[in-house]
Structure 1
Amino acid sequence: MSKNIIFMYILNTMADWEWGYITAELKTGRFFKKGIPGFTIKTVSLSKEPITTMGGLRIIPDLSIDEINTQDCALLLLPGGETWMDSCHASILEKAKDCLDKGIPVAAICGATMALASAGILDTYRHTSNDFAYLKKECPNYHGEENFQFQSAVTDGDLITASGTAPIELAYQVFKRLDVFSDETLDCWYQLHKIQDSQYFYKLMQSLG
């Protein structure tokens, strides 16, 4: 796999629960199809200064936004947070546009979907967010009403969006888009985490052959 880096944008107030399923599985590759290695995860922010998540964790970014090399980028991950409507995030939204123009998947959840809406990026993709009425109210530049899907997570081409209450569904869509799990493994992984029935753990292990 020539593109082997997952770039994850990190920001102050970042929602801790929205990205862990994705980074853990893509880094380890423990349930991948045979022969596919795990990815490298690189955190990206406005500067190299530490950010503080919603849960109080301090994370030092690996890179600044201008250091993202799209030639190595397998996915741009945009977790949610409480500050996404601030104008300071314009540069990562431009990078998201660039990625989509180059056929690089972009996955956004919760507040990040609202920022994409405000930037006009959602207008031409089927998408979802936390709540349609709230999206319309808070994002006056949003004109993607006809493409809004009342679902927890949606993939349209290279754009993946999800509600902030759907980190498992977002992870499912990311793994499916990157085609790193077999269909059986992906279904078992999802069922195990969604309904917490231990039978799916054993089915998951069996699916790896």
Structure 2
Amino acid sequence: MTRRTIHLAVYDTFADWEPGFATAQLTQHGHTVRTVGLTSDPVTTMGGLRVQPDLPLADLDPRDSDLLLLTGASLWDTGDTLAPFARAARVFLEAGAPVAAICGATAGLAREGLLDGRAHTSAVPFYLAATGYTGGEHYVDADAVTHPGSGAEGALITAGPTEPVAFAREILALLEVFDPKRLDAWFRLFHDSDEGAYEVLQG
């Protein structure tokens, strides 16, 4: 199986529980997850875990990636420390590579202007409105939203902080990890605790 690469951004205070549903399935279905830091220095997650980035942001190239995944973090709302990751998201989208952002990372993308013309969601509309962005008309009240890509730009996935399973669902759908029937079963199992979905998923 040809292994493909997902790049997970890591930074101090990043919400370590938010990408897990997605990355666990991706690594089991032919993908490699590599972590990207502002530098190569270790970071500490919101849960107190120490993570050593695989590469610094300066070395990240969208041509080498199937997805840039951005999680929430306290730092998204306390200054411009993480703005380089929002700029990297712009580079990805303009190169035709997809980006997935959850929780506070959506505010970072809003400040970068990446939500002004794309369907998106977040925690609540006024959270993004506080960034001063002009994309309010494109806000969708949903657990997770995928703005489809085109030949010229990459797809963008967004989700609110309470929806890591729905966030993963959109990522798994975009990267075609499961067919639609099995993806629905996976979501029902992990989001709704629907035990009947297990047989479908294993079938």
TM-score tier after normalising by the smaller chain length: over 0.9
- Whose helix fraction is larger, Structure 1's or Structure 2's? 1
Q: 2:151 is matched with which residue?
A: none
- 2: CA distance, partners of 1:83 / 1:53: 11
Mapping for residues 36-115 of structure 1, pairs under 5 Å: 38-85=30-77, 86-115=79-108
Instruction: Give the gaps of 5 or more residues in structure 1.
Output: 30-37
Instruction: Give the gaps of 5 or more residues in structure 2.
Output: 149-154
Conservation of the 8 A alpha-carbon contact between 2:70 and 2:105: yes
Q: 1:170 is matched with which residue?
A: 167
Q: 2:196 is matched with which residue?
A: 199
- 1: CA distance, partners of 2:64 / 2:39: 20
Conservation of the 8 A alpha-carbon contact between 2:40 and 2:52: yes
Look up the SS of the partner of 1:17 in the other structure.
coil
Q: 2:137 is matched with which residue?
A: 146
Amino acid in the other structure paired with 1:58: R
Conservation of the 8 A alpha-carbon contact between 1:127 and 1:149: yes
% identical aligned pairs: 40
Closer/same/farther in 2, CA of residues 149 and 201 from structure 1, 3 Å limit: same
TM-score when normalising by structure 2 = 0.93
Amino acid in the other structure paired with 1:189: W
Superposition RMSD on alpha carbons, in Å? 1.4
Deviations 1:9-39 (A, max 9, x none): 011111122100111100111xxxxxxxx11
Q: Write out the 4+ residue segments of structure 1 that deviate beyond 4 Å after TM superposition.
A: none
Amino acid in the other structure paired with 1:117: A
Equivalences, count: 196
- 2: CA distance, partners of 1:84 / 1:64: 18
Closer/same/farther in 2, CA of residues 87 and 160 from structure 1, 3 Å limit: same
Q: 2:25 is matched with which residue?
A: 25
